[in-house]
Each structure stands twice: as structure tokens, then as C-alpha cells.
Amino acid sequence: MEVSSVLLCSGCSPWQGFLLTASLLTCWLLPTTAQVTLKSSPPQVVEGENVLLSADNLPENIIAFAWYKGETDMNRGIALYSLRYTVSLTGPVHSGRETLYSDGSLWIKNVTQEDTGFYTFRIINNHGKIQSNTTLFLHVKSSLFVCGRPSNIDEPTIESVPVSVSEWGSVLLRVHNLPENLRTLFWYKGVLVLKKLEIARYRTTKNTYELGPVHSGRETVYSNGSLLLQNVTWKDTGFYTLRTLSTDLKVEITHIYLQVNKPVTQPFLRVTVSTVTVQSSVVFTCLSDNTGVSIRWLFKNRNLQVTERMTLSPSNCQLRIHVVRREDAGQYRCEAFNPISSKTSRPVSLAVISE
């Protein structure tokens, strides 16, 4: 059963039909596809503000995607978008403040602290099966407002220095606004506060450090709460959690997502046919060995201006010219890039002839 069929089923709502399809699949929780990444813009949001949860590097062979509130509770759907029918359906927990766009991004307006939690992005492939589940943690901070902006955020915050880090580099997770009456701080790998996920802890009263079960020998915790990671690899990508315990036994928890990038290798550009006639169609495909990269297109060594005759795939790795004209003749390239590097493919020439 495909998603397209359940969207039109009788006797049930479109969302119920979608859930029925999911329940019939043999695999409930699938490993997250490495190519799909989620991010929050802005990275830190205060109640009353708006936030965009965006999905990057969507695969090609998909017909629908959906957002859920929570990690695994698939009955808490927010919205579903069908690429085949270009329609958006709201789910059981849609509050009226969420908008799902065709690129997979979820816009949440006027967030509250109740919006804090996990959000799961699910992809359905063209066989109507679940292809991937990707999860993001959103933390909505509380604050007093002056003229609509926060006047004071006294909770601990974390920033990554540098913002983007490559493999074998070093990164400092710098902590701000530690409690003045701090007793102990803990660092964990992941979003869960579990002893088995503890990297290290620091006790201010004794000025002592204790290493946790997942300490690899590359992490250093400083007395100001910051965590230094050296010689990072792509396996270090993920959430890191800081937990602080004050002398009055107040506990505060803060998360940060760290993305470790590999240097980009040169992509390969493929075209269905190098010589085409006017009014015909042609497809270019940019092939990259890297995950977590973005794609842009160049025509005659300039950024390609996409017209109404052209279509880009959701992840930009495929360019289709539906109605070729003479002015489309020339050299095409694609560029793969991430926050630390970029590489451009060798040129592919397209010749356009009369019928």
C-alpha cells in the first residue's frame, strides 16, 4: 500500500490512513539515514519567538514526509506533506501554529515552553515504506520580555567554538551563565541524562574531576564548565548535554548539537544525453560520495538561474530541463559543499540542435 492510496481512502481521515500504512510495515523504528540532517533556526529560541526546523539532504526517491512531536510516538503527528499530490495534511497534535513546507521545513510560530521536546521527521519512499526517522531536540527558553525581546536569560547556554569543525580538528563547547552557587556539573553524550552516557563531571567544592563511562581520552572539562573535544571524528557528531547542580539542589539541563564535517570530495556530473534537440528534455545528476553536503549548479561558470522550464530535486542533486532551448547550450558543473569545504565537478557540455 502506498501513501498515495491511503490519502484517498474512504471511511478514514487522510492522517488515519497514513498511520494505517505505517502500522502495516514490518519495521517500526529504522536507523536514521545519515544523509538527512535537521537543524533549528535560530539555534536557541525563547518563548514567544518563531523557529524553523529544517531538513537538509532529502533523498530523491520519496513521495511524502511528516513531522511528529516526540521520538517514537507516531500517534502524535503534526503534519504530513505529499509530494505526489502537493498537499499538506495536519495531524492530531497540530496546534494551528505549525506550517509544513514542501522542502520538509516545519515553521512553528509563537513557541511556548510546552513546545520543548523531541521532534521526529519521517520520510516515506516511493514504495510507500518508511525510509528514515530523524530526531531533533528543541529547547524553548523562558525569559522576561522588554519590547518583545528577552531582557535576561540567566540559564546556562552553550556555544560551539568554532561553529563548524572538520574531522581531526578540535572544538570547544563553551558554557555561559553558570550558576553562581554551582556545586557539580556533568557532561553527557546524547540528550539523555544517564550514568552510562556520562563523559565527565566537575565538583567545584572539591575542585576535582571524575571521568565517565564514555570518556574517550580526548575530552577535557574545565572549571568554567566548558568541554574541549580534540581529534574529533564523524562519530562525535550528535547532541551533548550539560547538567548543572547548585548548592540549593536546583538542576538545569542544556543541550547542544555538534556537527563534525568531512572535507568534501569532488562530485561527478552525469547527463542523460549530451546532444539534444530543441523542445526536448534533459536531466543532469550530481553524484557525491559525501553525506551532509549541499549542492548548487553552475552554468558557464556562473550560478545557474533556474527558470520555469527547470526543476530541481528536493536535495538539489538533480536538475531537469523540461523544454530545452538553444540558450541552454553550454558547460554545466555542480558544486558539493559543507560548512568547511567545497568541490566542483568537471564540466559537462550540452549541445542543442534543431529538429
DSSP for 7-37, please give it. Answer: TT-SSS-HHHHHHHHHHHSS-SSPPPPTT-E
**Could you write out the DSSP letters of every residue in 260-313?**
EEPPPPPPEEEES-SEEETT--EEEEEE-S-SS-EEEEEETTEE----TTEEE-
* Sign of the Cα pseudo-torsion (295, 299, 305, 308, in order): negative
Residues 215 and 99 in one domain: no
Residues 43 and 134 in one domain: yes
Burial of 42 (0-12, 13-18, 19+ CB in 10 A): exposed
Residues 282 and 256 in one domain: no
The CATH code of the domain that includes 296 is 2.60.40.10
Asked if residue 147 belongs to a domain, the reply is no
Asked if residue 146 belongs to a domain, the reply is no
Asked if residue 48 belongs to a domain, the reply is yes
Residues 336 and 254 in one domain: no
Q: Between 300 and 148, whose confidence is greater?
A: 300
User: pLDDT digits over 134-150, tens only?
Assistant: 888 888 886 544 344 44
- Pick from 261, 276, 300: which residue ends a domain? 261
Mean per-residue pLDDT, 272-297? 91
- Picking from 170, 316, 183, 340, the residue whose alpha carbon sits closest to that of residue 249 is 183
Residues 275 and 246 in one domain: no
- Pick from 93, 114, 141: which residue ends a domain? 141
Domain that holds residue 320: 268-353
Residues 215 and 338 in one domain: no
Average pLDDT, the chain: 83
Query: Which one-letter amino acid corresponds to residue 78?
Result: I
- Picking from 98, 133, 106, 136, the residue whose alpha carbon sits closest to that of residue 119 is 136
* pLDDT at residue number 72: 56
Asked if residue 314 belongs to a domain, the reply is yes
Residues 112 and 40 in one domain: yes
Residue 35's pLDDT band, with cuts at 50, 70 and 90, is low
Q: How many domains, in total, are found in the chain? A: 3
Residue 273 has pLDDT above 80, yes or no: yes
Mean per-residue pLDDT, 319-337? 95
Q: Between 201 and 90, whose confidence is greater?
A: 201
Specify the DSSP element, H or E, that contains 5. helix 3-6
Residues 19 and 131 in one domain: yes
Asked if residue 222 belongs to a domain, the reply is yes
* pLDDT at residue number 73: 62
Residue 206's pLDDT band, with cuts at 50, 70 and 90, is confident
Task: Say what the pTM is.
Answer: 0.53
Residue 73 has which C-alpha cell?
A: 510516538
- Pick from 261, 284, 312: which residue ends a domain? 261
Residue 258's pLDDT band, with cuts at 50, 70 and 90, is confident
Mean per-residue pLDDT, 180-196? 91
Asked if residue 70 belongs to a domain, the reply is yes
Asked if residue 299 belongs to a domain, the reply is yes
Residues 167 and 292 in one domain: no
Express as a percent the part of the chain with pLDDT over 90: 42
Residue 200 has which C-alpha cell?
A: 565527565
Residues 109 and 222 in one domain: no
**Distance, CA of 316 to CA of 121 (rounded, Å):** 19
Asked if residue 28 belongs to a domain, the reply is yes
Residues 273 and 345 in one domain: yes
* pLDDT at residue number 201: 95
Residues 134 and 232 in one domain: no
